Amino acid sequence: MPAVYDVEPRHSHALTGIFEGRLNLSGPVRYATAVLAVAAGWLVRAGLMQAWGDRLPYLTLYPAVMIAAILGGFGPGVLATALSVLVVAISWTRSGNVFYGDRLDWVGMAAFAGCCLGIAGLAALLHRSRRRRDAQHRALETAHAQLEELERQHARAEARLRESEERFRLTAASDGITLYEQDANLRYVWLYPQHAEHGAALGRTDGELLPNAEGERLMQRKQEVLTQGTSCRVEVRAQLPAGTKYYDTFIAPRRDASGRIVGVAGTALDVTDRRQREQSRQLLAAIVESSEDAIIALDLEGTITSWNQGSTRLFGYTAAETIGHSVTMLIPRERFHEEPQILERIRAGERIEHYETRRRRKDGTELEISLSVSPLRDDRGEIVGASKIARDVTLRNRTERNRRFIAMLNERLASSDQPDEIVQTASRLVAQFLGAQDCCFSEWHDETGAALVHYEWGEPGRPAGTGVHRLCEFAPAEWRRQFPHEFRIADITREAPDAALVGKCQAAGVGSFATAGVTRKAPWIASIIVASQQPRTWRDDEMRLLKAVVARVWPLVERARSETALRTSEEQLRLITDHAPVSLAQVDRERRLKFVNQTYARRFGREPHDLIGQPLKEVVGATAYARIQPHLDGAFAGRHVEFETEIALPVGGTRWVHAVHTPETAPDGTVIGVIVLITDITARKEAERQVALARDQALAAARAKDDFLAALSHELRTPLNPVLLIASDAAENPALAAEVRRDFATIRKNVELEARLIDDLLDVTRITHGKLPLDLRPVSAEQILQDALSVIRPDAEQKRITLVTELTAHRTTVRGDAVRLQQVFWNVLKNAVKFTPAGGRITVTSANLRGGDTLRVAVRDNGIGMTPAEIARVFDAFTQGDHAVGSNSHRFGGLGLGLTISRLLVEQHHGDIRAESAGPGQGATFTIELPVTTQPIATVGSTTGDDGLRAIHLDGRAGRRRGRVLLVEDHAPTRDALASLLRRRNYEVLTAATIGEARAHLAAGGIGLLVSDIGLPDGDGCDLMAELRGRAELRGIALTGYGMDADIARSTKAGFFAHLTKPIRVQALDAVLAAIDSPAADFAR
What stretches of 472-601 adopt beta strand conformation (E)? 486-489, 512-521, 524-532, 583-588, 593-596
Are the C-beta atoms of residues 915 and 868 closer than 8 Å to each other?
no
Are the C-beta atoms of residues 304 and 327 closer than 8 Å to each other?
yes
Mean pLDDT of 865-889: 71
pLDDT in tens, 52-62: 655 556 667 77
SS3 68: helix
List Cβ<8 Å contacts ≥24 apart for 792-800. 792/826, 792/829, 792/830, 792/833, 795/830, 795/833, 796/833, 796/842, 799/833, 799/836, 799/837, 799/838, 799/839, 799/840, 800/838, 800/839
pLDDT of residue 100: 46
Residue 528 CB neighbour total at 10 angstroms: 26
pLDDT of residue 863: 92
As its CATH architecture, domain 951-1083 has 3-Layer(aba) Sandwich (3.40)
**Can you say whether the dihedral through the CA atoms of 72, 77, 82, 84 is positive or negative?**
positive
SS3 1024: helix
CA 64 to CA 38: how far, in whole Å? 5
**Can you say whether the dihedral through the CA atoms of 765, 768, 773, 776 is positive or negative?**
positive
Return the closest-CA partner of residue 722 out of 499, 1056, 973. Answer: 973
Question: E strand or H helix at 146, and its extent?
Answer: helix 106-175
Complete DSSP assignment for 197-255: HHHHHTT--HHHHSTTHHHHHHHHHHHHHHHH---EEEEEEEEETTEEEEEEEEEEEEE
CATH superfamily of 572-680: PAS domain (3.30.450.20)
Looking at 76-80, 200-204, 514-518, which range is the least confident one? 76-80
CA 516 to CA 520: how far, in whole Å? 13
Looking at 201-210, 356-365, 831-840, which range is the least confident one? 201-210
Q: How far is CA 33 from CA 64, 125, 220, 773, in A?
A: 9, 19, 83, 136
Assign 885 a pLDDT band (cuts: 50, 70, 90).
Answer: very low
SS3 886: coil
pLDDT of residue 706: 64
pLDDT of residue 731: 78
Question: E strand or H helix at 725, and its extent?
Answer: helix 682-730
Q: Is the pLDDT of residue 953 over 50?
A: no
CA 464 to CA 331: how far, in whole Å? 41
Return the closest-CA partner of residue 308 out of 326, 324, 292. Answer: 292
Mean pLDDT of 631-654: 86
Topology adopted by domain 291-392: Beta-Lactamase (3.30.450)
Q: How far is CA 348 from CA 300, 337, 352, in A?
A: 11, 18, 11
Q: Which CATH number fits domain 176-276: 3.30.470.20, 3.10.150.10, 3.30.450.20, 3.40.50.300?
A: 3.30.450.20
pLDDT in tens, 330-367: 999 999 999 999 999 999 999 998 889 999 999 988 88
Looking at 126-130, 477-481, 670-674, 695-699, which range is the least confident one? 477-481
3-state secondary structure 401-415: HHHHHHHHHHHHHHC
Domain boundaries, the chain: 2-146, 176-276, 291-392, 398-566, 572-680, 776-931, 951-1083
pLDDT of residue 12: 43
Complete DSSP assignment for 612-642: TT-BHHHHH-HHHHHHHHHHHHHHHTT--EE
Q: Is 855 left (phi over 0), alpha (psi -120 to 50) or beta?
A: beta
Looking at 143-157, 587-601, 885-899, 1041-1055, which range is the least confident one? 885-899
CA 455 to chain centre: 41
CA 528 to CA 423: how far, in whole Å? 10
Identical fold for domains 176-276 and 572-680, yes or no, is yes
Q: Work out the mean pLDDT of the chain and round it to a whole number.
A: 80
pLDDT of residue 285: 64
Are the C-beta atoms of residues 522 and 546 closer than 8 Å to each other?
no
CA 665 to CA 671: how far, in whole Å? 4
Return the closest-CA partner of residue 813 out of 940, 939, 932, 941. Answer: 932
More confident residue, 481 or 918: 918
Q: How far is CA 148 from CA 106, 154, 162, in A?
A: 61, 10, 21
Residue 907 CB neighbour total at 10 angstroms: 13
CA 101 to chain centre: 131
Residues paired with 307 in a beta bridge: 296
CA 366 to CA 537: how far, in whole Å? 14
SS3 958: coil
What is the C-alpha end-to-end distance of the chain, expressed in Å? 154
Topology adopted by domain 398-566: Beta-Lactamase (3.30.450)
Q: Is the pLDDT of residue 387 over 80?
A: yes
- 380 Cβ neighbours under 8 A, 6+ residues apart: none
Q: Is the pLDDT of residue 811 over 90?
A: yes
Q: Is the pLDDT of residue 958 over 50?
A: no
Mean pLDDT of 566-584: 72
pLDDT of residue 890: 45
pLDDT in tens, 742-763: 887 778 777 776 776 677 667 7
Assign 886 a pLDDT band (cuts: 50, 70, 90).
Answer: very low
CA 721 to CA 422: how far, in whole Å? 72
pLDDT of residue 648: 81
Residue 859 CB neighbour total at 10 angstroms: 21
Looking at 142-156, 260-274, 659-673, which range is the least confident one? 142-156
Helical segments of 955-1065, H only: 972-984, 995-1004, 1021-1027, 1045-1054
Q: Which range, 43-52, 195-204, 845-854, 933-942, is most confident? A: 845-854
pLDDT in tens, 765-805: 777 666 677 888 999 999 999 988 988 898 899 999 999 99
pLDDT in tens, 465-507: 667 776 666 566 666 666 667 888 888 888 877 777 788 788 7
DSSP 464: P
Are the C-beta atoms of residues 861 and 832 closer than 8 Å to each other?
yes
pLDDT in tens, 225-252: 999 989 999 988 887 776 788 888 999 9
Assign 914 a pLDDT band (cuts: 50, 70, 90).
Answer: very high
| Preceding peptide of 920 cis, ω within 30° | no
Mean pLDDT of 372-380: 87
Q: Is the pLDDT of residue 282 over 70?
A: no
CA 903 to CA 912: how far, in whole Å? 7
With the CA atoms of 761, 767, 769 and 772 taken in that order, what torsion angle do they form, in degrees rounded to the nearest 10?
Answer: 110
Looking at 616-625, 704-713, 1066-1075, which range is the least confident one? 704-713
SS3 514: strand
Mean pLDDT of 848-860: 92
Mean pLDDT of 822-842: 92
Mean pLDDT of 245-266: 89
More confident residue, 951 or 864: 864
Assign 850 a pLDDT band (cuts: 50, 70, 90).
Answer: confident
pTM to 2 decimal places? 0.35
- Which class for 379: exposed (0-12), middle (13-18), buried (19 or more C-beta within 10 A)? exposed
Q: Is the pLDDT of residue 900 over 70?
A: yes
Topology adopted by domain 776-931: Heat Shock Protein 90 (3.30.565)
Looking at 685-689, 833-837, 955-959, 1032-1036, which range is the least confident one? 955-959
Number of H-type helices and E-type strands within the chain: 37, 38
CA 322 to CA 309: how far, in whole Å? 12
Q: Is the pLDDT of residue 1085 over 70?
A: no
pLDDT of residue 943: 39
SS3 758: helix
Buried (b) or exposed (e) across 739-765, using 16+ Cβ within 10 A? Answer: eebeebeebbeebbebbbbbbbbbbbb
With the CA atoms of 111, 115, 120 and 126 taken in that order, what torsion angle do they form, in degrees rounded to the nearest 10?
Answer: 160
CA 914 to CA 475: how far, in whole Å? 16
CA 64 to CA 54: how far, in whole Å? 19
Q: Would strands 261-270 and 243-255 be described as parallel, antiparallel, or unpaired? A: antiparallel
Q: Is the pLDDT of residue 952 over 60?
A: no
The percentage of residues in the chain with a pLDDT greater than 70, rounded to a whole number, is 79
